[in-house]
Amino acid sequence: MSGSSSKFDDLLTQLGTGRWNLLYFLTSSYWCLLVPPQFISGVYLAPAINYTCRPPESEDSVHVSRDSCYYSINKSSLVGVEEEEPCTEWDFDTSVFSTTLTSEFSLVCGREHLRATYQGVYMLGTFLSPLLGGYLADRYGRWKVVMATQVVTVITAISQCFIHSFMFILVLRFFMGSVNLLTLFIFALEVCEPKHRALVGILTGLPWALGTMLWGALAYCIRDWRWLQAAVSFPILLILIPIYFLDESPRWLIVNGHHDKALLVLQRASRWNKATLPPEEDLRALMRNVQEESSMPVKVKEAAHEGLEVTKKHCRSPRLPGLISTRAITVVTVVVCLDYFAVSLVFDGLNLSGDNYSADPFLYIVLGGLMEVPGYTLTAPAIDRWGRRMPTALSYILCGILLLALAFIPPDMSWLVMTLAMAGKVCISGAFQLIYVYSSELFPTEVRLQGIGAASVLAQLASTILPYITTFLGPLVPWAPSVIFAGVSLASGVITLVLHETAGKALPDTITDLTHIRSLKNQEENVDPSEIEKIAT
C-alpha cells in the first residue's frame, strides 16, 4: 500500500467504526435501494402489451385483425378487393396494466423502437457517469458532487410523473442516467475502517437486490405508470437529508490541501465514534505528509477494495495506450473488458427478459431480486477458499450452461423455464461481484483506473444495446436471447481461465511487474520458454 494511503488508513483504524461511518454506509445503502426501479423501469412503465387496431369510425367494410398495424378497407365495388391502411389509433389491453407509456404514447408498430429507446437512453447516459464522477469529484469534492447529482436525480425522476411529451421524458431519462454515479458508494468506502471495506463492498449489493424486489412488489400494487413512477421517485427526496449531514471526505480534503477543514471533520468523527485522535500537531504533520506523497508516484500493494485513492498523476494523466503496450497487459485488458461486457449483458438481460421467461412479470422481478442475495453473499467465502480465477470462470460457465438449456425447454414447461432463469441469475450475480474484485487486482497500479474505466465503457455499451435485443429479437425468435446470453457467458468463462490468480499475492505496480507475474504463471504451467519471451515483449 502507498505510504500516504497506509498513514491515512492507520488514522481511520484509530477512529474505528461507529455512528460517523454508519451514516455514510446507510446513506449509500439507501441510494442502492432507490436505483433499481429507475434502472429497469422499462419493465413496467414501457412493457410489451396486447393491442388491437382501431380503424376510423367513418370507414365501412373494414376488416381488422388483432395486434395488427394495418386495417383493410374495401374501397372497390368488386367483392374481395381490399386496400391496407396504416393504423393511427389502437385499443390496448388493460388486464395487466391500466396505463403505461406504451399505451399513452402508442409505442407500437412504427413507434415500437421507442420502447427500447426508453430503456436504452438511460444506459446511454451512464456513459457519462465515469467521466463526470471522476473529474468532478476530484476537482470539487465528494460532498458537492453527491449533493448536486442527487438533486438532479430528484428533479428528473419526479418531473417524469407530470410530463406529457415522450421526447422530453427521454431527455430526462438520459440526464438521470448521466448522473447515476458511484460517487456516493466510493464516498462511503473512503471513510470506512480498512478491515471492513471488503465486507461493505459486498453488503451494498444487498440493498440493490432489495430494491429490485420492491420494484416488482410496487408494480404489482400500482398499475398506473405515473403513480408508479411517483412511488419510486418521491422517496429519493429523503436521501438529501442524510447527505446534508455528511462531512466532506477527509481523504479528499487532505490531498487537496484543506487541512483545517479536514481537522474539523476528523475531530467530529472522533466525537461521534467516541475515539481518541493523536495530538493536533501530529495530525497536521500527518496531513502534510499525505498531501506531499499523494502527488508523487506511489507503489500500491492494496487488497481488493482497499486501494480507493491513487495519485493525482495517475488520475489526471490517462495512458490508455498502456493497456495494450505488451502482450501481458493486452491479455488482461481484453479478457476483463469482455468479462464486463458479458456480465452487464447477461445480468441486465435477465432483468429485462420477463416476457420471455415468465407469464407473471411481477413474480419474475421479485424472484430475480431475491436470487441476487445468494449470488452476492456466497462470493466472500468462495474467493477466500478457492481464490478469484476459478470461482469467476465457473460462475460464467455455469450461468451459460443454464441459459443455453433454456433455449431447448418448451414454453409450456413454465416452472422449469423459471427455475433455470433464476438459477442463472444467481450465477451471474456472483460473477458480477467477483469480476469487480478480480479486475481491481489484475490491472497494475499505473493503469488500474484506465483499465477498469475501459471495461466499464464496454459494460455500458452492452446495457445500451440490450433493450433492442429483448424488445425486437425476443418476440421474433424466443430462444435467441437465451442463446446470445449463454454464448457470451460461456465465452467469458472460458477466456477467464487464461488469467492468473491474484489471491494472496502482491498486486503489480507496473506493467513490467505484470509481465513478470504472467511469465511465472506460464512457467508453472510448463509453457514453452519461447512463449514466455513473447509475453515479455
Cα–Cα distance measured from residue 467 to residue 345, given in angstroms and rounded to the nearest whole number:
10
Residues of the chain with pLDDT under 50: 1-4, 61, 65-66, 297-319, 527, 529, 532-533, 535-537
HSE (side-chain half, CA atoms, 13 Å) at 183: 30
Which helix (H) or strand (E) segment is 378 a member of? none
Q: What is the pLDDT of residue 130?
A: 65
pLDDT for the residue numbered 296: 56
Compute CA 366 distance to the chain's CA centroid, rounded to the nearest angstrom.
18
> Per CATH, which fold does 1-46+102-317 belong to?
Growth Hormone; Chain: A; (1.20.1250)
Task: Give 412-461 pLDDT, tens digit per residue.
Answer: 888 999 999 999 999 999 999 888 888 878 888 667 767 887 888 888 88
Helix (H) / strand (E) element for 351: namely: helix 327-351
Measured in whole angstroms, the distance separating CA 261 from the mean position of its chain's CA atoms is 33
User: Contact 121/173 with Cβ under 8 angstroms?
Assistant: yes
Q: CA gyration radius for the chain? A: 26
In this prediction, residue 181 carries a pLDDT of 67
User: What integer pLDDT is reported at residue 508 of this predicted model?
Assistant: 74
389-406 and 480-496 helices, crossing angle to 10°: 160
Enter the C-alpha cell of residue 482: 437465451
Nearest to 27 by CA among 189, 168, 166: 189
Model pLDDT, residue 313: 42
Prediction pTM value: 0.82
385-395 per-residue burial string, b: 16 or more CB within 10 A, e: under 16: eebbbebbbbb
What type of residue is 370?
L
Which set of grid coordinates corresponds to residue 337? 473488458
Sheet holding 83-86, edge to edge: 62-63, 70-73, 83-86
Q: Which residues of 86-117 are buried (b: 16+ CB within 10 A; e: fewer)?
A: ebeebebeeeebebbbbbebbbbbeebebbbb
CB distance 311 to 296 below 8 Å: yes
Predicted pLDDT at 436: 83
Q: Which residues contact 371 (CB under 8 A, 6 or more apart)?
A: 422, 423, 425, 426, 429
Q: At what angle do helices 19-39 and 259-273 cross, to 10 degrees?
A: 100
Q: What is the predicted pLDDT for the residue at 290? A: 78
Domain 318-537 annotated CATH 3.50.30.10: no
Grid cell digits, residue 499: 488469467
In the chain, the N- to C-terminal Cα span, in Å, equals: 28
- pLDDT on residue 305: 39
Question: How confident is the model at residue 536, as a pLDDT?
Answer: 42
Q: Three-state SS across 22-76? A: HHHHHHHHHHHHHHHHHHCCHHHHCCCCCEEECCCCCCCCEECCECCCEEEECCC
CATH 1.20.1250.20 occupies which residues in the chain? 1-46+102-317, 318-537
